[in-house]
Amino acid sequence: MVEDELVLFDKTINEFWNKFKNTDTSCYMVGLRDTYKDSIKAFAEKLSVKLKEEERMIEMCLEYQNQIRRQNILIQEKKDNLLKLIAEVKGKKQELEVLTANIQDLKEEYSRKKETISTASKANAERLKRLQKSADLYKDRLGLEIRKIYGDKLQFIFTNIDPKHPDSPFMFSLHLNEAREYEVSDSAPHLECLAEFQENVRKTNNFSAFLANVRKAFTAMVHN
- For the chain, which residues make up each domain, given as ranges? 161-224
Residue among 152, 150, 185, 192 at smallest CA distance from 171 = 185
Per-residue confidence at 207, pLDDT binned at 50, 70, 90? confident
Hey, which residues does 156 pair with through a beta bridge? Answer: 146, 172
Higher pLDDT, 224 or 216: 216
Average pLDDT, the chain: 81
Q: What's the angle, vertex CA 218, arms to CA 214 and CA 219, rounded to 5?
A: 115
Extended strands (E) in 65-206: 144-149, 153-158, 170-176, 182-188
Per-residue confidence at 28, pLDDT binned at 50, 70, 90? low
Cβ neighbours for 186, distance < 8 A, ≥ 6 positions apart: 155, 171, 172, 173
CA within 13 Å, CB half, 37: 5
The sign of the CA dihedral 17, 19, 21, 25 is: negative
Fold of 161-224: Copper Amine Oxidase; Chain A, domain 1 (3.30.457)
Per-residue confidence at 124, pLDDT binned at 50, 70, 90? very low
Work out the average pLDDT over 130-138. 61
The sign of the CA dihedral 142, 177, 185, 221 is: positive
Per-residue confidence at 217, pLDDT binned at 50, 70, 90? very high
pTM for the predicted model, two decimal places:
0.42
